[in-house]
Structure 1
Amino acid sequence: MPRTPTIALAYDFDGTLSPGSMQEHSFIPEIGEEKDAFWKRVNGEAARLGADNILIYMHEMVKAARREGKRFRLDDIRRHGADIGFFPGVADGWFERLRAHGAGQGVKVQHFIISSGLKEMIAASAIGPEFEAIFASEFKYDANDVPEWAASAVNYTNKTQFLFRINKGALDLSDHSEVNKYVPEDDRPVPFRNMIYIGDGDTDVPCMRTVKEQGGVSIAVHPAGDAVLAEKTAALKTDRRVQFTADADYCDGSPLDAYVKAAIDKMAAVERLRALEG
């Protein structure tokens, strides 16, 4: 039996599925700090040290919780993840609706996260179970579930590696041989022509460009009513980084919903044609 073609939707998280940064929903309020002050300190320290912003924000979360006497263990991080809010429609059927739409077109739709945010928070959020895999930054914990080191840090320069992992079905990060093994594109679990990437800004550009140039679809979203960010995503389309921009409205019948469904329809039609061609 021929395998059912798979279409992968890969998403950034902060600013794409959820407003702002995930730390701003409950962690930063809990430590009693303004979000601008927290990120100013992170960015300043990263600039001073010439360090990776992702590693610095992870360290600052640990330091800030300790300084303010707030418990910061794995279950606390998950608790903060459970408090994350989402753009309209995200937690109200978006993922299942697209899986059902794909099934009606004879394809399997899978969802993935590629984020600089914390994997533990994303997994514990209301939409955590929707994803085939979550590629994101995470801590290494001691025997008491206290963060003691960064286990992984995902930034804009290394995000694209996860597209290739999805492409080849090499979802186990400890397996380096599978992702580097040569496999003809048509024999890969998710050819790039069957990928849709949804992001919101500069840190997503490498992924947007990679997916678009390899035959897939890239989309930039912005909060509804935010003229500044709308102009920023419009520039991504002008610069040919993405094919489509839209409000971050994931409700049934929204422009974003219609465009993604149309992209799935087109990808499914191409797969049917290829099957007929033998």
Structure 2
Amino acid sequence: MNLMIMEAKAKGISLKRDSFKQFGKDVELFKGVKEWFGIINRYGKENDLEIKHYINSSGMKEMIEGTEIAKEFEAIYACSFIYNVDGIAYWPSIAVDYTTKTQFLFKINKGIKSVSDNIAINEYVPDDERPVPFKQMIYFGDGETDIPSMKLVKEHGGNSIAVYKPRDGNKKIIAEKLISENRVNFVCPADYSEDKEIYKVVTTIIDKIKSDYDFENLQKLHKANADKSKSKNNK
């Protein structure tokens, strides 16, 4: 990122925050992405579940903020610069690699929205008090920096989906290698339309999350009733 600043200065290019956001407006989204959030949020609501969306990216936060889907995210974890009073980048603020992405997952898990907060992330929070349990996460990844995060989510009981550009044979091979190596749960072409594979996979996962949640609550209820009866019998 510092190299980007130096190269821009050498070529007389101004890295303004507004320029990054403008670039974001021109980002081409995969088919169905714009409609995806409304469709999945509605499906979650029909199952008495609240769906939250996060971005965990090694791309530029300001560019992501410029996209038409930025408003759909609870928080955006990504690279960013420090800007001067004129809104011009002069130093890297947050640089994101595969290690940082895994750290961001724990921030999401604990409900920490600040990218730079390094205190709350290290505080102990019991698993049952964390707002976004790993087992209820669905992670979409399409790059090498996503692989450790996808594996982490999978190992913690959540679900990871390796997505690839439709009709790109090489990308498909790479994605399928990940599922063969047990680093992801699913592999899908990046078409988010309601009748496509990603929709089928995600709605099935949501059904399972709901079922598991109901099952756990039923177990807790039975245990609570048993403990209550035991307490009465001991009096």
TM-score by length of 1: 0.76
Instruction: Give me the whole-angstrom Cα distance separating, in 1, the residues matched to 2:20 and 2:208.
Output: 40
Aligned equivalent of 1:143, options 75, 85, 89: 85
Conserved 8 A contact 1:201-1:233: no
Q: 1:89 aligned to 2:32?
A: yes
Instruction: Give me the whole-angstrom Cα distance separating, in 1, the residues matched to 2:140 and 2:115.
Output: 22
How much does 1:61 deviate?
3.6
Give unpaired runs (5+ residues) of structure 1: 1-57
Instruction: Give me the whole-angstrom Cα distance separating, in 2, the residues matched to 1:77 and 1:202.
Output: 24
Instruction: Give me the whole-angstrom Cα distance separating, in 2, the residues matched to 1:260 and 1:110.
Output: 13
Conserved 8 A contact 2:52-2:74: yes
Instruction: Give me the whole-angstrom Cα distance separating, in 2, the residues matched to 1:63 and 1:100.
Output: 46
Q: 1:79 aligned to 2:29?
A: no
What amino acid does structure 1 have at the position aligned with 2:88? V
Aligned equivalent of 1:186, options 128, 143, 147: 128
Conserved 8 A contact 1:201-1:232: no
**Root mean square deviation, CA, Å:** 1.4
Please give the per-residue CA displacement for 1:236-257, whole angstroms capped at 9, x wherever unaligned.
0000001110100011111011
For residue 63 of structure 2, give the secondary structure of its aligned residue in structure 1. Answer: helix
Q: 1:267 aligned to 2:202?
A: no
Aligned equivalent of 1:276, options 193, 218, 221: 218
How much does 1:136 deviate?
0.2
Instruction: Give me the whole-angstrom Cα distance separating, in 2, the residues matched to 1:234 and 1:174.
Output: 34
When structure 1 is superposed on structure 2, of 120-129 and 268-277 the one drifting more is 268-277
What amino acid does structure 2 have at the position aligned with 1:72? L
- What does residue 245 of structure 1 align with? 187
Aligned equivalent of 2:2, options 43, 47, 59: 59
For residue 75 of structure 1, give the secondary structure of its aligned residue in structure 2. Answer: helix
- What does residue 169 of structure 2 align with? 227
How much does 1:121 deviate?
0.4
TM-score by length of 2: 0.89
Which entry has the higher C-alpha Rg, 1 or 2?
2
- What does residue 176 of structure 1 align with? 118
Q: 1:131 aligned to 2:73?
A: yes
Aligned equivalent of 1:198, options 129, 135, 140: 140
Instruction: Give me the whole-angstrom Cα distance separating, in 2, the residues matched to 1:132 and 1:149.
Output: 26
For residue 273 of structure 1, give the secondary structure of its aligned residue in structure 2. Answer: helix
Please give the per-residue CA displacement for 1:85-120, whole angstroms capped at 9, x wherever unaligned.
1110112x1012111111111111000001110000
Q: 1:167 aligned to 2:137?
A: no
For residue 65 of structure 2, give the secondary structure of its aligned residue in structure 1. Answer: helix
What amino acid does structure 2 have at the position aligned with 1:197? Y
Instruction: Give me the whole-angstrom Cα distance separating, in 2, the residues matched to 1:60 and 1:251.
Output: 39
Aligned length: 220
How much does 1:178 deviate?
2.3
Cα distance change, pair 67–173 in 1 and its aligned pair in 2 (3 A):
closer
For residue 99 of structure 2, give the secondary structure of its aligned residue in structure 1. Answer: coil
How much does 1:191 deviate?
1.0
For residue 198 of structure 2, give the secondary structure of its aligned residue in structure 1. Answer: helix
Conserved 8 A contact 2:150-2:160: yes
When structure 1 is superposed on structure 2, of 175-184 and 95-104 the one drifting more is 175-184
Task: Return the structure number with greater relative CO, CA threshold 8 A, min gap 6.
Answer: 1
Identity level (%): 41
Cα distance change, pair 108–75 in 1 and its aligned pair in 2 (3 A):
same
Give unpaired runs (5+ residues) of structure 2: 221-235
- What does residue 5 of structure 1 align with? none
How much does 1:72 deviate?
2.7
Please give the per-residue CA displacement for 1:44-84, whole angstroms capped at 9, x wherever unaligned.
xxxxxxxxxxxxxx334434444444443111111111111
